[in-house]
Structure 1
Amino acid sequence: MRTLTLDIGNTTVKYGCFEDDVLRETAIAQTKEQVGEVVQRWKPTHVILASVAGPTDTWAADLCAQVPGRIVEFKPASTPLPIRNGYATPQTLGADRLAAAVGAAWLRPGRDTLIIDAGTAIKCDWVEGGHTFRGGSIAPGLRLRFQALHTFTGRLPLLEMPPTC
C-alpha cells in the first residue's frame, strides 16, 4: 500500500511517500501543481492531508479523482487517533502539532516525549507516556522574530534568515 502524506503549512507543503510503514521519499512543494506531479509519479493508494493554512476540502476534492483509495483529512477535533488528545480545546489545535504527537508516540511507544518543531512558528509539545498529547507552547519562528524586532524597535536592522534554516 502506498500512502502520500501532505502537511500544508503557511509557507510550503511538506510531503512524505510511504510504502506500507516505510518512508520512501520526503520533500517540499511550493504549489498544488508540484503536489500533482508527485501524485502522478508516486501513484498513492491513499492520502492523508493536514493543514494549518486553511480547510483541506478543495485539496481532497482535487485528489479524489487521482487516488483510488481513501483521502483522510486530519482534523484535531474529529479524526480518530491512536493516542488520547488531552488538549483542552481540540478545535483550536493545529493539525501539524497533533500529527507530530501521533508520530512521536509511534516512534517512542510508552515514553514521555518532547517535540520541538521550528518553522513559521516554534512549537514545543509534550506526549505523556507515549499515549496522551498534553499540548505545549507556540511562539514566532525566526523570520517573524526578525521582522518584529526590526518593526517595533527604533534602531535594529532587518536581519535575513541564514540559507540553512
Structure 2
Amino acid sequence: MLLAVDCGNTNVVFALFEGREIRVRWRIATDPRRTGDEYAVWLSQLLAIEGLERSDVTAMIVSTVVPRARHNLEVLAEKYFHVTPLFAGEGAAGWGIEIDVEEPNSLGTDRAVNAVAAHAKHGGDLIVVDFGTATTFDVVDFHGAYKGGIIAPGINLSLDALVSNTAKLPRIAIEAPRSDSVIGRNTEDQMLIGVFWGYVAMIEGLVGRMRAEIGRPAKIVATGGLSLLFEEHTKLFDHVDPDLTLEGLAILAERAGVS
C-alpha cells in the first residue's frame, strides 16, 4: 500500500491508500524536530490498531512545505518501511503540468499537488481554494497549467491576531454563527460574526475578481480541513474535496509507477 504524507505548517497528515481509495488517515501536529524514530513509534501503533504491519507499506510519497521535516520523513521511509520515498515535484514524481508563474520553484508543493489533482478530477478552468494555515486561491487553466493565485491569512491566524493584539477579547472557537443575523448581541457573537462572515465575504469577493480576470467559466474547488464548514454557508463551491492534496499525491505516485 502507498503511504502518502502531506506535511503542512500546522499538521502532518498520513494517508494509507489501496489504489486510489484512502483506507485510513492519521494527523499529527507539525514539529520539525520530530525524528523519524518518533514518527515510526506513533505510526506502528496506529497501523497495529488497523490490523496492519509496517511491511504492508510498499511505497511512500511526501509533499512538504516544511524543509526541516524532510530529512526525518526520509529516515522514516528508509529505516522503518525500507522504501525510498518519492517527493512531490521531483524525479519520477514530477508535476507533469506547466507551472506558469514568475518563480516556479517558490510555489508550495501542496498547491502544485492540488493543481494536479483538481485538473485530473474536474478538468476545465479551475480555482482551487485551500483552507489551511494560510488560505490559498490557485488558478489552473483548462490545459492543466498552474497560472498563479492569492495567499491570505487562514481564518485561525486572523482570529489569533485579533485575540493576541487586544487586551479584553476572549479566545473563541471557529464555528458557524448560531443565527444568520450579522448584528451580534454580545462580545463572543460579535467576534464570531466578524471573523466567520468576514471570511466568507473575502472568499466570495476574491473568487469573483479572479473569475472576472480569467474571463471564462471556472469551477471552484474547495479543500482543506475547514472546507466542509464553509460549504454549508456559501453557494460558491462547485466541488468540495477535503482530501484533494492526498489524492494528488496518489496520482503522482501512480504516474511514477508505484502504489
Q: TM-score range by the shorter chain?
A: 0.7 to 0.9
Secondary structure, in 3 states, of the residue corresponding to 1:85?
A: coil
Q: Does 1:82 align with 2:90?
A: no
User: Using a 3 Å threshold, how does the CA distance of structure 1 residues 82 and 23 change in structure 2: closer, same or farther?
Assistant: farther
C-alpha distance in structure 1 between counterparts of 2:89 and 2:75, whole Å: 16
Q: Does 1:128 align with 2:141?
A: yes
RMSD (Å), alpha carbons: 2.8
The ranges of structure 1 where at least 4 consecutive aligned residues each deviate by more than 3 angstroms after the TM superposition are 35-42
C-alpha distance in structure 1 between counterparts of 2:139 and 2:133, whole Å: 19
Amino acid at match of 1:137: I
C-alpha distance in structure 2 between counterparts of 1:83 and 1:144, whole Å: 31
Secondary structure, in 3 states, of the residue corresponding to 1:87?
A: coil
Q: Does 1:22 align with 2:21?
A: yes
C-alpha distance in structure 2 between counterparts of 1:38 and 1:106, whole Å: 31
Which structure has more helix as a fraction of its residues? 2
User: Using a 3 Å threshold, how does the CA distance of structure 1 residues 120 and 83 change in structure 2: closer, same or farther?
Assistant: same
Q: Does 1:92 align with 2:100?
A: no
Give the deviation of 1:125 after TM superposition.
0.7
Secondary structure, in 3 states, of the residue corresponding to 1:60?
A: helix
C-alpha distance in structure 1 between counterparts of 2:119 and 2:130, whole Å: 15
Q: Which residue of 1 aligns with 2:85?
A: 71
Task: Tell me the TM-score normalized by structure 2.
Answer: 0.54
C-alpha distance in structure 1 between counterparts of 2:63 and 2:103, whole Å: 18
Q: Which residue of 2 aligns with 1:157?
A: 169
Unmatched 5+ residue regions in structure 2?
177-225, 227-259
C-alpha distance in structure 1 between counterparts of 2:101 and 2:18, whole Å: 31
Which structure has more strand as a fraction of its residues? 1
Q: Which residue of 2 aligns with 1:7?
A: 6
**Structure ranking higher on relative contact order (CA contacts 8 Å, 6+ apart):** 2
* From 34, 40, 43, the counterpart of 2:42: 34
Q: Is the 8 A contact 1:12 1:28 kept in 2?
A: yes
User: Using a 3 Å threshold, how does the CA distance of structure 1 residues 145 and 83 change in structure 2: closer, same or farther?
Assistant: same
Task: Tell me the TM-score normalized by structure 1.
Answer: 0.81
Q: Is the 8 A contact 1:146 1:158 kept in 2?
A: no
Identity %: 23
C-alpha distance in structure 1 between counterparts of 2:66 and 2:44, whole Å: 18
Q: Does 1:57 align with 2:56?
A: no
Q: Which residue of 2 aligns with 1:103?
A: 117
Q: Which residue of 2 aligns with 1:47?
A: 60
| Cα shift readout 1:15-62 (whole Å, capped 9, x = no counterpart) | 222112222223323472434545673622111111112241221122
Aligned residue-pair number = 162
| Cα shift readout 1:117-154 (whole Å, capped 9, x = no counterpart) | 112111111111151111211111112111222344x5
Q: Does 1:117 align with 2:130?
A: yes
C-alpha distance in structure 2 between counterparts of 1:133 and 1:12, whole Å: 25
Unmatched 5+ residue regions in structure 1?
none
